């Protein structure tokens, strides 16, 4: 990693400090604040159209990134040489690490808030329950194993003595689980269609 201060993190706090340095501080601040604040602003506006737009924007972003990651970037990264892979991951991993978890919370939070503003929780339809269950599964996947894999990837990239074998193995596991994530995302978008038509 190019920034002089960055090395293999020894604890969680150091890992996030190095990630923010690697991704640049303004990126880190924006990546965390924008997806978390937009749903709050949408909800407080009291205007469900504003909230709908926030939800659509964040949802489309998450879905698009999941498809791109699982179908294009993952396989491409897997086919690169060790050095090229590490170099690509250096720019990619810290930014994705900082951005995607807030985006996932923002999508689920804006969805729950939107359903509230539309009065849907008064008598939830099967689609709404299904969306909620799938959202919980997606968050568990994202904050659990996917997070562990990407944190491990960051540690290897930040280290002077990158363990390329571990990096490749984490990459592979991440690629497989991102396929599961993609399936859950497709299912949740199907429930969105169900919500739209009142099912």
Q: Which residues bind ligand HEM (CB under 6 A)?
A: 55-56, 59, 62-63, 107-108, 111-112, 114-115, 118, 120, 128, 131-132, 135, 185, 188-189, 192, 195-196
Measured from the CB of residue 114, what is the shortest distance to ligand HEM in angstroms? 4
Measured from the CB of residue 52, what is the shortest distance to ligand HEM in angstroms? 6
Measured from the CB of residue 153, what is the shortest distance to ligand HEM in angstroms? 23
Q: How far apart are CA 74 and CA 179, in angstroms?
A: 10
Closest by Cα among 154, 149, 152, 197 to 177: 149
Kindly state the tokens that stand for 115: 């359903």
Of the pair 23, 108, the CB lying nearest ligand HEM is at 108
Of the pair 20, 138, the CB lying nearest ligand HEM is at 138
Residue 99: which residues within 8 A CB-CB, separation 6 or more? 31, 35
Of the pair 127, 150, the CB lying nearest ligand HEM is at 127
Measured from the CB of residue 59, what is the shortest distance to ligand HEM in angstroms? 3
Question: Is residue 25 within 8 Å of residue 18, measured between CB atoms?
Answer: no
Q: How far apart are CA 109 and CA 35, in angstroms?
A: 10
Residue nearest to ligand HEM as judged by C-beta position: 111
Kindly state the tokens that stand for 20: 């923010």
């Amino acid at each position: 990693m190019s920034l002089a201060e960055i090395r293999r993190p020894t604890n969680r706090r150091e890992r996030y400090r190095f990630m923010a340095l690697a991704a640049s501080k303004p990126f880190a601040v924006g990546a965390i604040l924008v997806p978390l604040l937009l749903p709050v602003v949408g909800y407080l506006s009291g205007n469900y159209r504003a909230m709908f737009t926030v939800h659509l924007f964040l949802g489309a972003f998450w879905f698009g990134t999941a498809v791109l990651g699982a179908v294009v970037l993952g396989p491409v990264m897997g086919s690169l040489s060790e050095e090229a892979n590490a170099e690509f991951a250096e720019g990619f991993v810290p930014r994705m690490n900082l951005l995607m978890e807030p985006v996932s919370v923002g999508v689920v939070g804006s969805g729950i808030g939107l359903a509230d503003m539309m009065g849907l929780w008064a008598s939830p339809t099967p689609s709404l329950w299904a969306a909620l269950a799938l959202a919980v599964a997606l968050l568990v996947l994202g904050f659990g194993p996917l997070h562990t894999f990407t944190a491990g990837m960051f540690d290897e990239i930040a280290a002077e003595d990158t363990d390329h074998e571990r990096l490749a193995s984490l990459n592979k596991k991440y690629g497989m689980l991102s396929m599961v994530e993609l399936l859950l995302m497709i299912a949740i978008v199907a429930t969105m269609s169900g919500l739209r038509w009142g099912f």
